[in-house]
Structure 1
Amino acid sequence: MDEKARQAIALRRFSIISPVLSGNVKNNREYFQELSKNPVDMPYLGTKVYNYKTFEGWLYDYHRYGLDGLMPGFRSDRGKSRKISSELGDKIKEYRVKNPKMPVTILYDRLISEKIINPLELSRSSVYRYIADTVLPSKEESGESLRFSYQYPGEMWQGDVMYGPYIQVGKKKQQTYLHAFIDDATRLIMYSKFFYEQNFETLRICLKEAMLKNGIPRLIYTDNGKIYRSQQLEYICAGLGCTLLHSQPYVPKGRGKIERYFNTVRMRFLSNLSPKELNSLESLNEAYEKWLDSDYQKKEHSALNGKTPHQCFIDNIDRVKLVTDRNQFNENFLLRISRKVCHDATIQVENILFETEPCLAGKRLEVRYEPEWLLDQTKNLQLYEDGKRIGEAKRIRFYDNAHVQRRFPGNRKKAAAETKDISHPSENSLATPKNTISFADLAQGGTENV
């Protein structure tokens, strides 16, 4: 199984346990038992039926190892009885259904007396665990669809994109898009900004700024747009312990708060814009931020008992999960792509060549990076294998490589005598040029490359 398949399975497992992590489940065992009634569509593995203890095992692995703990690597029969066959299991279920109130001890003795099981091969405790795991609870009433609102800030954010006004750019008019995240409990706008595009990169910028400013939410609720269905976004949320939920297709009623905010923007902000404020994206955002801070955020809201969104958020600021480890936070927001290292220890990202250690040639690795690193020769891309960082990739400088002395050039015997003191070519070929700065070395206290 390749890395892409293992990652897809891990994300699917996280989506199953995420309601428990976000606190939306009252009883974990009942929730998992309900899930075990129906088959689960698992990427690359097909449709399978899981025991509820398997779901509990995934939850335990996530708490202990994070997202990496959800990647395949456990026994294939984990969570299933290895002593009770399917035929024997059907007979045990049949007896249990006929006698639901019969104690397991008496049921076990009856199975022995009728020679259905052999007590030397199957213990009473094994039968007890099998019955406890497979007997289905009584049918519950179907759930209701109710209007909801969370009580405290940070419990749930709603995110969406609104089509904004056109801006004259040269001889053409260009569409703008307003990205926004709103806190469900306080109606406070976590972060919002106009962009010329509505893609994953603009979403990533908006979400990162929102979390740095107002903490990490337990739940993010969005529509089914392509940018919100991105696997990159799933990895960001999973790495931060944040559950990502999507509304049903063509059912916007669950996102009423963000839709109502967009209506407020149209009525109270866009309708009052002057032509001077629409001459550039910068002037539009400047006017929008001024209106947001002075009008909406500090205006009394009818659903908040006369309080302002800003006041409600400040009153419960102690419940917000703030970012404490900035380095780990930034690492979770790195873009992730899979690349195979060529025989010459190079990889290509966005049509740009990078080089790494020769020992990594031929391996398929996960590359993590910020988009601006691609054009910055002082930044190195991070290389991971099985969730562990194993190296870096530096942008190739063809001019510098042309002057690196190769091993055994021309006459091999003569060159060998002249290059006794020359270090191994792998060190020279990947050495940082003298006219650049290695921030990795500076972080370790080294200054040789300055």
Structure 2
Amino acid sequence: MIERLVGGWQDRKTRRLERAQAIGLFRYMLIREAADPTLSRRQRGALVRDLAAVTHVDPDGRTVRITRWTLDRWITDWRRGGFDALVPSPRQSRPRTPPEVMELAASLKKENPTRSAAQIRRIMAAQLGWAPDERTIQRMIVREGLNALQAPASPAVFGRFEADGPNELWTGDALHGPIVEGRKTYLFAFIDDHSRAVVGHRWGFSEDTVRLAAALRPALASRGVPRLVYVDNGSAFVDSWLLRACAKLGIKLVHSTPGRPQGRGKIERFFRTVNSEFVVEIASGDGRPGRQITSLLEMNRLFTAWVENVYHRRVHTETGAAPLGRWMTGGPFPVPAPADLAEAFRWSEYRTVSQTALVSLHGNRYQVDPLLSGQRVELVFDPFDLSFLRVRANGQDAGTALPHQISRHSHPKARPETPAELPRPTTGIDYLGLIDAAHTRTLADKVNYAAFATEPDPESRPEQ
């Protein structure tokens, strides 16, 4: 009996040794070419990316993917200790990841099936201070049958164009977001083509020109003026105010050809990141768990924290650099004077002056210079304050229009956003709250590039 037990123990030990050697050989065969000391860092990085992009058959006959970080660690281990450093301990017969950690990962997936393994790893790292490898989480998801709900297929990406430097080209677009306060939200965002930095953004309840201006104007005030802005043909992007603002600031505005999304691939990729890392953590009206957003102010604050603390600091897979760091290599960028920016973002409409020197605008009537009677003039105004209008005739300043009869104080398109009460969060880890707390802690040490601090315009009033 004892001899059988001893013999069985020795057999198991031998099998563990053989398996450990097979694993070490598998690792060595993968990294041997990339570990060549004669390779440059760029050459080695290209080989490692190629290895991480394809599947491999491990010693157990399973098809697996190996992450870039794991391959880099194996190369480092081999350089320090040779082949033996690649051989795992034969005593490692059970997984090294504590079962309670994997149970947490499974709970996060069950709580929100649309979370990816990468997102689960980020949440666990933010909550616990560390997390298992992304591939480990992915294997657990498949093993437990939690991958029934798959994310929608990514749309095709067109072209490989990249601007030569920061602020050469900004791309703008709108993203349809989750339900907040019982209303659908929209994100207007602009990214710098060269660095992929988010130069301007704003969540709102309407996909209109006012919300677009709320994203673009602070971007111009803090990031400078780009040479070219590339947008689609949405109603907000073809509004005459945008063309006027770009013309005033010397920006070339280009619209994409309808039905041909080439050139907007980078911002579409950014929006997929927003959906998979930010929107996925927001509770919606369909019962999906997450943080309950109580106001647009909170949503914009959390999004700013995520952009600054996560997106801008993470190395971009295409550029090999953090977006904000790459954008700042081209600085400093001159910003427009507050008066010039305010003038550029005023709206204008043309009207014909009556024989009594009155002019009408959206139900209001104004008195102008009697010499302008019968002429077609341009009325320039702040959309949130129709009590003060400037008049231009033949491109020249012609004074101001005095209110004669005022029934509307703001432009019909300048609709205010009124928040409502929503219940507080009840379940799950608040990932966005963790990111927001980290952003708050680092504000004192933040680089002073004035990303979100703009000079108030004394001639315009803030949105109500």
TM-score, reference length from structure 1 = 0.52
**In 2, Cα distance between the equivalents of 1:147 and 1:333?**
33
Paired position in structure 2 for 1:388: 396
Pick aligned residue for 2:278 from 245, 260, 269: 269
Offset from partner CA, 1:372-413 (integer Å, 9 cap, x none) = 221xx4xx2111112111111022269xxxxxxxxxxxxxxx
Q: 1:229-308 to 2 correspondence within 5 Å?
A: 229-273=238-282, 276-305=291-320, 307-308=321-322
Q: Is the 8 A contact 1:336 1:369 kept in 2?
A: yes
Select the structure with the greater relative contact order (CA < 8 A; seq sep ≥ 6): 2
Partner Cα separation in structure 2 for residue 314 and residue 258 of structure 1? 19
Query: 1:234 is paired with a residue of what secondary structure?
Result: helix
Question: Is 1:210 the counterpart of 2:223 in the alignment?
Answer: no
Alignment map for 1:367-378 (pairs within 5 Å): 367-374=379-386, 377=387
Query: SS state of the match for residue 365, structure 1?
Result: strand
Moved over 6 A (4+): none
> Residues 338-377 of structure 1: matches in 2 within 5 Å?
338-374=350-386, 377=387
- Distance in 1 between residues matched to 2:247 and 2:405, nearest whole Å: 36
> Is the counterpart of residue 176 in structure 1 residue 188 in structure 2?
no
2:202–2:211 contact (8 Å) kept in structure 1: no
The 2-side partners of 1:198 and 1:352 are apart by 26
User: Which of 140, 162, 165 is matched with 1:149 structurally?
Assistant: 162
The CA deviation string for residues 28-55 of structure 1, in whole angstroms up to 9 with x for no partner, is xxxxxxxxxxxxxxxxxxxxxxxxxxxx
Distance 1:309 1:277 in 2: 29
The residue correspondences of 1:29-40 to structure 2 (distance < 5 A) are none
Amino acid at match of 2:344: N
Give deviations 1:419-439, integer Å, cap 9, x for gaps.
xxxxxxxxxxxxxxxxxxxx9
Query: Is contact 1:217-1:321 (8 Å) kept?
Result: no
Same amino acid, percent of matched pairs: 30
- Match 1:227 to one of 220, 236, 241: 236
Q: 2:327 matched to 1:316?
A: no
Q: For residue 259 of structure 1, report the CA deviation from its aligned partner.
A: 0.3
Aligned residues, how many? 245
Instruction: Report the Cα offset of residue 227 of structure 1.
Output: 1.8
User: How far, CA to CA, are the matches of 2:175 and 2:308 in structure 1?
Assistant: 19
User: Does structure 1 conserve the Cα–Cα contact (< 8 Å) formed by 2:177 and 2:187?
Assistant: yes
1:292-319 residue CA offsets vs partner (Å, 9 max, x unmatched):
11111111112222x211111122113x
Structure 2 match to 1:25: none
The aligned counterpart of 1:110 is: none
Q: TM-score, length-normalised on structure 2? A: 0.50
Which residue is 2:32 aligned to? none
The Cα shift of 1:341 comes to 1.5
TM-aligned CA deviation for residue 243 of structure 1:
0.8
How far is 1:232 from its partner? Answer: 2.3
One-letter amino acid matched to 2:197: L
The answer to whether 1:200 aligns with 2:214 is no
Q: Return the offset for 1:218.
A: 0.3
1:363 partner amino acid: Q
- Measured in 2, the distance between the counterparts of 1:194 and 1:156 equals 22
Give the match for residue 423 of structure 1. none
Residue 264 of structure 1 aligns to a residue in which SS?
A: helix
Distance 2:200 2:341 in 1: 17
Long gaps (5+) in structure 2: 1-157, 284-289, 407-457, 460-464
Measured against aligned partners, the alpha-carbon deviations of 1:329-364 in whole angstroms (never above 9, x if no partner) come to: 321221010011222222222212222222222221
Q: Secondary structure at the match of 1:298?
A: coil
| Distance in 2 between residues matched to 1:281 and 1:329, nearest whole Å | 25
2 CA distance for matches of 1:281 and 1:205?
Answer: 13
Letter paired with 1:266: N
Residues 321 and 250 of structure 1, relative CA distance in 2, 3 Å threshold: farther
Deviations 1:77-134 (A, max 9, x none): xxxxxxxxxxxxxxxxxxxxxxxxxxxxxxxxxxxxxxxxxxxxxxxxxxxxxxxxxx
CA distance in 2, matches of 1:348, 1:155: 41
Aligned-partner SS, 1:229: coil
Conserved? CA contact 1:369–1:381, under 8 Å: yes
